Each structure stands twice: as C-alpha cells, then as structure tokens.
Chain A
Amino acid sequence: MASLIKNFFIAVRQIFIGNTKYYLWVGFLLFLILLGGSAYMSQAQRGLIITGMRDQVSWGFYISNFTFLVGVAAAAVLLVVPAYLYNFKPIKEIVLFGELLAITAISMCLLFVMIDMGQPLRGWHILPFIGAMNFPASLLAWDVLVLNGYLAINTCIAFYVLYRLSIGKEYKMSVIGPLIILSIPWAVSIHTVTAFLYNGLSARPFWNASILAPRFLASAFCSGPAIMLILFQIIRKVFKDVDIDDRAIFKIAELIAYAMAINLFLLGAETFEVFYSGTIHEYPMQYLYFGLHGKAKLVPYIWFATFLNVTAFLLFLLPKTRENYTTLNMACVFVIIGVYIEKGMGLVIPGFVPDPLGEIYEYGPTTPEVLVTIGVWATGALIYTLLLKFAIPIYTGKLRFVTKGQEGYRSPAP
C-alpha cells in the first residue's frame, strides 16, 4: 500500500516536472482547449446550427477530421509490419511511439464523433446490451466496435510494455506477441470499416465506388508515417537520450514513397472511370476538381493537395531528397497537408454535392466549428505529450516505480 501511494506521487510529479518550454507548450495547449471548449459550450446550447452544416451537407469538418485521423491511427501501428516481418531492428525500437500515436489518434476520433452528435448524452444508446446497437446492419455500429477495440488493444500493448519496464523487468513477447499480431489486421480493419461506412451508401455515388477502401489505406500509409517521421525528429531533439536511428527514418520515408505511388495510381484509376464514362455520377468529382454550375469552393484546395502529393512523392522517391532532412521534412509536411485535404474535406463534402435532389449547397466550416476542431487537436497534442512524458523516461530507464526489488526514481527535467 505504501509503495502504491509513493508510486502515485512519482506519477503525479512526472506531469509537473519540466522546463519552461514544457510549461509554455502545455499552457498553450490548455489555452486552445479552453477556446475550443467554450465554442463547444455554445454548440451544446444552441445546437449544431452554429456550424456550416445543413440538411444538404449533413456532415462537415468534424467528420472530415475524424476520417483523416482514423487513417493516422491505422498507419501508426502498421509500422509494426516491417519491424516484425523483416525483424528490422531500428524500426522495432520505435514501435512504441507509434502505438502511443495510435492511442492518441483514436481518442481524437472518438472526440470528433462525440462533438458531431446532436444528442451526445444519448451516446449510450449505441452500446451493445445497454443500448440497442444496430449490429451487424449499421456500419457505424461496426465502426464503434473496431475503433474501441483498437483503442483497447493498443492501450494494452503500450501500457503492458511500459509497466514491465517501469518495474525494471523485460516485457514478455509471449504476452504481447499475440496482441501485436492481432493489432495488424485490426489496424487494417479500422480504416476499411471507416471506408465502408461511406462506401456502402448507394445514395452517394461519389463514395459508392469499390476503390474507396484501398484508396483509404494507401493514403493512410502516406500521412500516418509522415506524422511519425516529424514526431520522431522532435522526440529525438527534445529528449536527447532517445536514440532513433536515421536508417529507421529513411526506411519509413521509402515506404511512404511506395504508398504514395499506389495512392496516386488509385486516384488516377478512379478519375479515369468517372470522367471517361461521363455519367451523371461524375458531378461530385466535377464539383471537387472543376466546380459545378459556378460553385467551386473546394477546387483550389484539391488542386493544392494534388500538387503537394505529387511533389512529396518525388521527394520521397529520390534517395537524395529522401535522405536530406530539409527536403525530407518538406515532403512530410506536404504529405500531411495533402492527405488532410484529400481524405478530409475532399472526401466528405463532395459526397453531399449535389445532394440527392440535385441541389448544390456550398459548405464551409464556421469560426466556432474551426475553434472546436482546434480544441480537439490540442487535446490530442496534450494526450500525446503526457503519454511521452511517462513513456520516454521509462523507456530510457530514468523513471522507475517502487517495487519490492527496486527503489523508485524519477527522471530529471525535461
């Protein structure tokens, strides 16, 4: 019992130790969360009318962000594949950071779904046994299951590893091995199910194309690892004792190049099918790329995204630019923004334009909507920061909890 209390204080202290930069960063995030929270309060009071969404375009910025983040969550864990398949050690050592990113991204996904609901207090209606979950008919029910399952699996893996390390013991592969194996198809499943969520709607020709799920996965394999690459470099810089091998970074960059090649190919295949056959089902894509009846709000964004994706593909493909940190980071940022547009608003909004009765309603997020979204992103950043605050000292052996066999000690700043 005494050691439990001691450990509790070790853990609490861990949140508060840090240099000025750490405090500034957390303070900044808390400020953004407060800003988003106040915008959400007005949404809770007045309803979703404060957003730009209407009956014609009934999903918007929130669900766009949700979709993008499911991809990030999936891809963060798929880094496990090369690590274990080829026993590539440099990547294996950083898988933990991927798991933590997956936990963060899924938490953000769940937040985005919650803030999009008209009656969030009734969320329990969707649960099995307690509520009246429409399983297996509703793909949204599937999504709730796979996303929460994924969160549970990754939480188990990450916390088990950290717990073992924190009590000064090696983790046992016999315990988490099966979970890691399970997490691989599960990562594929969360993004596939999310794609099917759109894909299954015959009312929306833009989504009702079987290429959707493969495109989801391909683009996720670009944006997820790109985010990881940036995070790895930040981690390496901030926590000077974390050693992340350059080879791991360049290997992942190479994987992004292949994923982007597939992504662009699939995009080309879809574009051909839609525009060559030229049926009325081309209207949403026409709206996205060229505008329809003079309405062209998304056009500059999607072309910007296309430009970014193609440029990033070339930068990742050439070994010279891939292994130069300036161009590598440029490419990472390009891919993140490119996929964020393409798999966010670029995917969700054209599904609703024109609406089933032919109306073109141009959606754009309102200021409160953007503020709430920023709040969720800040929450995600805070979750990841705090997770790292524990994970890294444990990982490098600077933070240990009190057990019978060892004395606890804490990490110095940062």
Chain B
Amino acid sequence: MTEKKAEKYIDRRTFLRGAALGLAATALPLDKADASFWEAFFQKYYREMNEEEKKKVIQRLEKEYAQKYKKEIKVGDEKALPGVLFGYGLDLSRCIGCRRCVYACVDENNQSKDPQIHWITVLRFKKGEKFLDLEESEKYYNPSQVPEPGYFYMPVQCQQCENPPCVKACPTQATWKEPDGIVVVDYNWCIGCRYCMAACPYGARRFNWTTPNRKPEEINPKTHYLGNRPRYKGVVEKCTFCIQRTRNGRYPACVEACPVGARKFGNLLDPDSEMRQLIEHKRVFRLKEDLNTNPKFYYFFAYGR
C-alpha cells in the first residue's frame, strides 16, 4: 500500500527537474543521442542519489570505461568510516625534492599524461631566504641529482582544509568535504566554471583543459567514484588523499612512494595515531594559517638541518 503511494508521488522538485530537462533536451545535438549520453546528461547530483541510483550510475560508468579503455575498471563507492578524520604530515627536514611522490600520485590516480596533470607540486627554495609566503618558490627546478646543496624542498598538494574556500565558492555544490575530511569532486556534476581554482589559496586544483589522455595499459583499474576514476574534459580535479586506498585502510600512494619517509598519514581522531603523536610532539605548522582555512596538512621538522 505504502509502496504504491510512493510510486505515484512525485515531489515538486522532481517534477520541475523533469520539465526543465525535457525542454533542455530538445536543444541538444542529435548525433550523440545514444542512451548512454542521455543517461549521463540527466545524471543526478551524487549526494542526492540513493544507493540504488548510485549503483546504476556506477554500472553505466564501468561500461563506458570498459568501452573506452578496453579493460575492466572498477568504480568503488566506499563511504567514510565513522570516527575517522584524515590528516597528513610532511617532514620538511627529510624531503629531498625527488618528486617520486608526484609520479606515484600520477600512476595511482589516473591523471592525464598528455597534457600532464600533477596533483602534487614540489617547490624548491634557497636556504636562508624567506619561504613561508611561497613567493620565491621555484617549481621547474631540474638538477641531475637531488638534494642540491643550498636548497630545500616543500611539496604542496590539496591541504584538505576543514574550512575549504573552494567548497564555499562552487556554485553547484559539485565539490564538498566528506565526513572523513576529504574534499572531493563529483566529476559528473562539475560545470567547469573554475571558481574553486580562483578560491584555492594553495593552487591545488587542476582543470582538464582538454580530454585527458592516458594509455589504457597505464590506467589504474581500482578506482573510486569520488577519486581516481577517469575524468572528463572540462572538469576540475584534485588530490583526494587517495580516497580509493585510504578508505580501505591503505596509505596514500605518495606516502608509500617517499624514499626518505618524509610523508606521514593517519587518523586525527585516534589518540594513538602517528599523526596525533606528531602534532603533539613536534612543532608543526600549516600553510597560510592567517587565512583560517584550517588545513589538515601539517608541515614539520623532525630534526635539525
């Protein structure tokens, strides 16, 4: 009885949506009018889908990816675990500027390789010069060997702010902070206005200026809907603390790749976690603290030099 009622009931929002989209549909190109195109076009906002709808969307995406890359790509949808708030630590006294984290990240997260998209930027500074305001940074350093005498390095990526300016800026709510503190993007909801990029104080967001290009054999088939699944032309992407790994109890790829152990990761709500140890026993700082973005990305110096 109640089920029948639910079927009949169409709320105003759904009705309006249907009516408006019906109108919009008439204005669309016909040659692309296959079922998948329309399903993608009408796809709802991730946070407004129920589990059933999410499942269907993920099935469609997996089918599309299989067609495009000729291999099976799994799109996960693991939820945030209760009692978890992810935090990141970066030991500036250890970092040697080798950029292995940058490329491990690219391998893991299916970024475009042509043009190249990197989620991590390693900045180089001259020792003895001011560095905290980042104005004197060098990003295109290219020595034959690292570390170079007289320089030190500072990797920057999404700082996963507790008070993220990008989320506030997004006009469609296509980017938001998950309960475990990760700021994510729904690549099927982003309209590509790039207001979030203007709002980010850490230069952490990347735009797909053209269709992302990556060889099928280089695609990492283990993906997450909100993370490393293949992206589209015209949408924004960013570091997600490797959501597809960390929600399954693994470390982010950059943490595993770091040859000097400069990268730390853990649950800020767990008093015994490495992150909490670090925050309580080392002198940590965060970038641009005056902006009150409250990042969960902590820089520290484990030892001198």
- Give A contacts to B, CB under 8 Å: 46-49, 53-56, 58-59, 113, 116-127, 129-134, 137-141, 144, 197-198, 201-204, 280, 283, 351-352, 354-359
Contact = CB atoms under 8 A, between A and B. Distances in A.
Given A55-B206, A203-B198, A204-B198, A119 B173 contact: no
A280 B171 contact: no
Task: Across the A-B interface, give the 7 residue pairs with the lowest CB-CB distance, nearest first.
Answer: A118-B192, A118-B234, A203-B201, A140-B171, A47-B210, A49-B209, A49-B210
* Residue of A48, A54, A120, A203 with most partner-chain B CB within 10 A: A203
Contacts of B48: 132
B233 interface: yes
Given A47-B210, A117-B234, A119-B191, A129 B201 contact: no
A357 B191 contact: no
Contacts of A144: 171
Contacts, number: 163
Contacts of A352: 198
Nearest to B233: A47
A53 B134 CA distance: 22
A326 B171 CA distance: 46
A130 B173 CA distance: 13
* Residue of B28, B171, B195, B236 with most partner-chain A CB within 10 A: B171
Given A55-B206, A125-B172, A197-B195, 14 more contacts: A59-B198, A117-B191, A122-B189, A125-B45, A132-B174, A138-B171, A138-B195, A140-B170, A141-B171, A203-B201, A283-B135, A355-B203, A359-B137, A359-B203
Given A117-B193, A123-B191, A357 B121 contact: yes
Contact of A119 (B133, B171, B192, B202): B192
B295 to A, nearest CB: 13
A131 B59 CA distance: 23
Interface SS of chain A: helix, strand, loop or mixed?
loop
B41 interface: yes
B36 interface: no
30 contacts: A46-B210, A46-B211, A48-B192, A59-B198, A118-B192, A118-B235, A122-B189, A122-B192, A124-B21, A125-B191, A127-B20, A129-B12, A129-B13, A130-B13, A130-B16, A131-B45, A131-B172, A132-B45, A133-B172, A134-B170, A138-B171, A140-B193, A203-B202, A203-B291, A204-B198, A280-B135, A357-B134, A358-B133, A358-B139, A359-B139
A201 B198 contact: yes
Contacts of B123: 357-358
Contacts of A354: 135
Given A55-B197, A117-B193, A133 B203 contact: no
B76 interface: no
Nearest to A348: B198
A358 B134 contact: yes
Interface of B: 12-13, 16-17, 20-21, 24, 28, 41, 45, 47-48, 115, 121, 123, 133-137, 139, 156, 165, 167-174, 189-195, 197-203, 205-211, 232-236, 291-292
A357 B169 CA distance: 20
Contact of A58 (B41, B47, B189, B207): B207
A56 B234 CA distance: 16
Contacts of A121: 28, 41
Given A59-B198, A358-B136, A126 B165 contact: no
Contact of B134 (A137, A141, A356): A356
Given A54-B209, A59-B198, A201-B199, A116 B193 contact: yes
A45 to B, nearest CB: 9
Contacts of B171: 126, 133-134, 138, 140-141, 144
A121 B28 CA distance: 8
Contacts of B291: 202-203
A130 B17 CA distance: 4
B112 to A, nearest CB: 11
A92 to B, nearest CB: 38
Contacts of A139: 169
Contacts of A134: 170-173
A70 B24 CA distance: 26
A192 B223 CA distance: 43
Contact of B169 (A49, A125, A138): A138
* Residue of B137, B193, B236 with most partner-chain A CB within 10 A: B193
Contacts of B207: 48, 55, 58, 118
